[in-house]
Amino acid sequence: METIKLTIDKKLVEVEKGTTILQAAKKIGINIPTLCYMNLGDMNIENKPGGCRVCVVELEGRRNLAPACATDCAEGMVIHTHSIRVLNARKTVVQLILSDHPFDCLICAKSGNCELQSLAHKLGIREIPYQGEQSTYRKDTSPAIIRDVDKCIMCRRCEVMCNEVQTVGVLSAINRGFHAVVAPAFEMNLDHSVCTYCGQCVNVCPTGALTEVDHTNQLINDLADPEKTVIVQTAPAVRAALGEEFGLEAGTLVTGKMASALRELGFDYVFDTDFAADLTIMEEGTELLDRLSKHLAGDKEVKLPILTSCCPAWVKFFEHNYPEMKDIPSTARSPQQMFGSIAKTYFADKIGVDRKKLIVVSIMPCVAKKYECSRDEFKVDGNPDVDYSISTRELAGLIKRANIDFLSLPDEDFDHPMGESTGAAVIFGTTGGVIEAAVRTAYEVYTGKTLKKVDFEELRGLEGLRSATIDFDGLKLNIGIAHGLGNARKLLDEIKAGKSMYHAIEIMACPGGCIGGGGQPYIHGDSSIIKARHKAIYAEDEGKTLRKSHENPDIIKLYEEFLGKPLGEKAHHLLHTHYFDRKKEIFID
Amino acid sequence: MSSIKIKLKEKDIAQIDEICKSFNNEPGELINVLHKVQTTFGYLPAEVQDVVANKLNMSVAKVYGVVTFYSFFTMIPKGRFPISICTGTACYVRGAEKVLDEFKKQLSIKVGESTPDGKFSLNCLRCVGACGLAPVVQVGEKTYGRVSPDLVKDILKNYE
Ligand code: SF4
Ligand code: SF4
Ligand code: SF4
Ligand code: FES
């Protein structure tokens, strides 16, 4: 391997050929500030347009300053990363960006998390000597995401996420010069586009140009209303990330503190989406076995592979892009929606509250779930099964707003009956988890034997595409796993071409699965955080006494008392759904 | 943004397909494809961009991004009488800008737009080589020289 020696800030450093100045500096502990640059190393995601020039450094013997993120090291280079020229240039660059940026930092949704704001602070900017024309673009509000393009700095990170990683292709740079913005085709609103609401663009936007729709004020009102019973469900990935917002190390589980915080906030019942995840496995697992046995018996009508259906961004993705295959995904609703549907029937009856007076709120690592709640098929006479969904970030904000000292809260349990769950449900929060949970149950139901070991290491990991073969007592089940919609597309194209060798496939829209969801605490480019959350999820699973969905006593009771059997008539009505052809739905306005 | 909604005929789609194929449906050839398509249709309405995106297997947002980046591309059909105002140096110093403003005012459209009845469209062009006549305005095939703002009304009258 060819190496290069160079000097950065008087320190000698040796790097591989092809290393950028930015990376070389990082190696010796010098963090050059960046803005447009993005590198999510573990996920192979990079954006280096070299456009913003915040990362400039001085090279001895070169007249112009060079962007560190887009300049490769060369033998013998002598680099200064904080000379007066460099500091002044960086300051000017940021002042120029700010001259066309709204001044509403005080009330901006991104305040405190904005990379432009912290850069201005870091560079000691106290005035903006340039007076430029301010762009005035309309705000675009969809069911899940708000685009406030006046705050866009054209770093184009969102474009990389939406086009290269997710292959959805909603966002692109348009127009030129001052009028350049990132927008959907024909500047249509997001809700007219093929946007899946995966929220990955929100996750990487350095400013407040892309944010989630805020439901916290509605929640505060509902909690204060004595007429209403307000209940909450929390998704598995939330407990593995919420602590980050309170300074805890990434990967710290805060399940118990989260439950007490929710009680402090005033929810009448604190439940767990994990309960519904176990229910999902009962339905989806049964459906898998049903389709599998019919297929093996030679029924040509039954299509395989079966695809998981718990991710609403993924569901919208195939509705737009592969509607001809809409009978392949499992018809099981997502855990969020199963929870809502059971809460507003079974549970509402139990406590004698009318569904209109029962507010079901979900805490999700996700922004697509906000959109999912609003889908018509999940409403009864206009009343939604889940009233609205709050992101992990929004929950953290609410806890802070209510002066709750999160770190000193006691660990509490969820309420019954919809708070009981198994380890199988917990792992829904990470890529590979849903299918592992399904395998744990399907194996025991199919073979009639008890698993000696419930851990299926072969299904775990963070590679974008994975596969494994699981032995069901002689029947070899081929399983595929994809996270990130670009990876999903590869598996779908295989199926479309009739080349898929899988019996079952798990798909999650977000890289990492829900732990990397669009509503999680911002990772600011540190992908090791995703790994830490991933570990935490499996740790929580291991700590559970019950680790197979069909052993959840409250689920067993729910079927006995109310649902009958999996895939039965009532279950079909309350827990399953259908999909739409949205290919021609995008309209050009 | 275009407010024009058109329905493409099978034959138009086939024609776009043909053009894309002649460039091997290469996404890298997008600009050339768009150029050719615009020469054929006169403009690039949203529906046409949608077809091009499909054929080249790329997102329509990217296609739109390119269309809006180059001022050569237009999403609006030319009027029956396309008006071009020379804004080359000679015409400019002799007041082409004021003439342009007057056209905008009279027709209530901006540069690059057409009147709702599709009669006139307004565009600027660089030096037409008639600097002696500056400022120069072309309407369709006809050229008008030494145009001043107060002549604009009269020019338009010729097309009533
Ligand atoms: S939410 Fe996802 S699909 Fe929608 S614009 Fe953002 S990255 Fe693209
Ligand atoms: S919307 Fe955000 S991520 Fe996208 S280009 Fe603008 S500032 Fe960058
Ligand atoms: S992977 Fe999870 S967080 Fe991401 S869109 Fe799907 S359900 Fe939401
Ligand atoms: S961070 Fe290097 S040019 Fe923007």
Q: What is the pLDDT of residues A406-461, one digit of tens each?
A: 999 999 999 999 999 999 999 999 999 999 999 999 999 999 999 999 999 999 99
Residues A528 and A478 in one domain: yes
Residues A350 and A425 in one domain: no
Spell out which residues of chain A touch residue B68, defining contact as CB-CB under 8 Å.
174-176
In tens, the pLDDT along A73-116 reads 999 999 999 999 999 999 999 999 998 899 889 999 999 999 99
Say if residues B135 and B94 touch (Cβ distance below 8 Å). yes
A377 is catalytic: yes
Q: Among A406, A118, A433, which Cα is nearest to A284's?
A: A433
In tens, the pLDDT along A170-191 reads 999 988 877 888 999 998 999 9
In tens, the pLDDT along A551-579 reads 999 999 999 999 999 999 999 999 999 99
Determine what percent of chain A is predicted with pLDDT higher than 70.
Answer: 98
Confidence of residue A130 (pLDDT cuts 50, 70, 90): confident
ipTM above 0.85, yes or no: no
Within a domain: residue A123? no
Within a domain: residue B95? yes
Residues A365 and A429 in one domain: no
Residues A269 and A395 in one domain: yes
In tens, the pLDDT along B72-100 reads 888 888 888 889 898 888 888 888 989 99
How high is the pLDDT of residue A168?
A: 96
Three-class SS string for chain B? CCCCCCCCCHHHHHHHHHHHHHCCCCHHHHHHHHHHHHHHHCCCCHHHHHHHHHHCCCCHHHHHHHHHHCCCCCCCCCCCEEEEEECCHHHHHCCHHHHHHHHHHHHCCCCCCECCCCCEEEEEECCCCCHHHCCCEEECCEEECCCCHHHHHHHHHCCC
Within a domain: residue B1? no
How high is the pLDDT of residue B5?
A: 54
Q: Residue A134: pLDDT above 80?
A: no
Residues A409 and A429 in one domain: no
Within a domain: residue A94? no
Asked if the C-beta of B46 comes within 8 angstroms of chain A's C-beta atoms, the answer is yes
Residues A362 and A261 in one domain: yes
Confidence of residue A589 (pLDDT cuts 50, 70, 90): very low
A284 is catalytic: yes
Spell out which residues of chain B touch residue A589, defining contact as CB-CB under 8 Å.
1
In tens, the pLDDT along A502-521 reads 999 999 999 999 999 999 99
Domain boundary among B69, B93, B116: B69
User: How many whole angstroms separate alpha carbon A342 and alpha carbon A113?
Assistant: 37
Residues A356 and A484 in one domain: no
Residues A377 and A257 in one domain: yes
Within a domain: residue B59? yes
Range of the domain at B89: 81-157
How high is the pLDDT of residue A290?
A: 94
CATH code at A363?
3.40.50.1780
Asked if the Cβ–Cβ distance from B59 to A163 is below 8 Å, we say yes
How high is the pLDDT of residue A50?
A: 75
Residues B17 and B48 in one domain: yes
Q: Residue A49: pLDDT above 50?
A: yes
How high is the pLDDT of residue A42?
A: 67
* Helix axes of B10-22 and B30-41: crossing angle, nearest 10 degrees: 140
Domain boundary among A212, A245, A264: A212
How high is the pLDDT of residue A516?
A: 96
Residues A437 and A322 in one domain: yes
How high is the pLDDT of residue A301?
A: 86
Domain boundary among A364, A389, A419: A419
Q: What's the B86 CA to ligand 3 centre distance in angstroms?
A: 55
User: How many whole angstroms separate alpha carbon A439 and alpha carbon A459?
Assistant: 10
Residues B97 and B40 in one domain: no
Asked if the Cβ–Cβ distance from B68 to A169 is below 8 Å, we say no
Within a domain: residue A450? yes
Q: What is the pLDDT averaged over residues A340-359? A: 97
How high is the pLDDT of residue A334?
A: 98
Within a domain: residue A564? no
Within a domain: residue A477? yes
Q: Residue A287: pLDDT above 60?
A: yes
How high is the pLDDT of residue B6?
A: 63
Determine what percent of chain B is predicted with pLDDT higher than 90.
Answer: 41
Within a domain: residue B47? yes
Question: Which of B 85-144 lie inside 8 A of A, CB atoms?
Answer: none
Within a domain: residue B2? no
Spell out which residues of chain B touch residue A172, defining contact as CB-CB under 8 Å.
59, 61-62, 64-65
Residues with CB under 6 A from ligand 1: A 145, 161-162, 166, 168, 170-171, 195-201
- Hey, is A111 helix, strand or coil? coil
Within a domain: residue A574? no
Residues B119 and B139 in one domain: yes
Residues A71 and A138 in one domain: no
Q: Residue A131: pLDDT above 80?
A: no
In tens, the pLDDT along A142-166 reads 999 999 999 999 999 999 999 999 9
Within a domain: residue B93? yes
Residues B87 and B26 in one domain: no
Residues B26 and B47 in one domain: yes
Within a domain: residue A98? no
Residues B85 and B64 in one domain: no
Nearest ligand, measured from the Cα of A337: 3
Residues B133 and B86 in one domain: yes
Ligand 4 binding pocket mutation candidate from A21, A32, A36 (most atoms within 8 A of CB): A36
Say if residues A423 and A544 touch (Cβ distance below 8 Å). yes
Q: Residue A247: pLDDT above 80?
A: yes
Residues B59 and B17 in one domain: yes
Residues A544 and A486 in one domain: yes
Residues B63 and B19 in one domain: yes
Stretches in chain B below the pLDDT threshold 50? 1-4
Determine what percent of chain A is predicted with pLDDT higher than 90.
Answer: 88
Task: Please state the pTM of the whole predicted model.
Answer: 0.88
Within a domain: residue B3? no
Ligand 3 binding pocket mutation candidate from A165, A238, A314 (most atoms within 8 A of CB): A314
How high is the pLDDT of residue B74?
A: 85
Asked if the C-beta of B4 comes within 8 angstroms of chain A's C-beta atoms, the answer is no
Q: Residue A587: pLDDT above 60?
A: no
CATH code at A313?
3.40.950.10
Residues with CB under 6 A from ligand 4: A 34-37, 50-55, 67, 69-70
Within a domain: residue A54? yes
Residues B85 and B53 in one domain: no
Range of the domain at A185: 133-212
Residues B102 and B124 in one domain: yes
Say if residues A170 and A195 touch (Cβ distance below 8 Å). yes
Give the best residue of A163, A187, A584, A588 to mutate against chain B (max B CB count within 10 A).
A588
Asked if the Cβ–Cβ distance from A185 to B69 is below 8 Å, we say no
How high is the pLDDT of residue A585?
A: 53
CATH code at A63?
3.10.20.740
User: How many whole angstroms separate alpha carbon A403 and alpha carbon A2?
Assistant: 56
Residues B121 and B64 in one domain: no
Ligand 3 nearest atom to the CA of residue A364, by list position: 3
User: How many whole angstroms separate alpha carbon B155 and alpha carbon B160?
Assistant: 10
Within a domain: residue B75? no
Q: Residue A526: pLDDT above 50?
A: yes
- Give me the number of domains chain A comprises: 4
CATH code at B106?
3.40.30.10
A551 is catalytic: no
Q: Residue A528: pLDDT above 70?
A: yes
Residues A474 and A374 in one domain: no
CATH code at A162?
3.30.70.20
Domain boundary among A64, A82, A100: A82
Q: What is the pLDDT averaged over residues A240-256? A: 97
- Give me the number of domains chain B comprises: 2
> How much is the mean pLDDT over chain A?
94
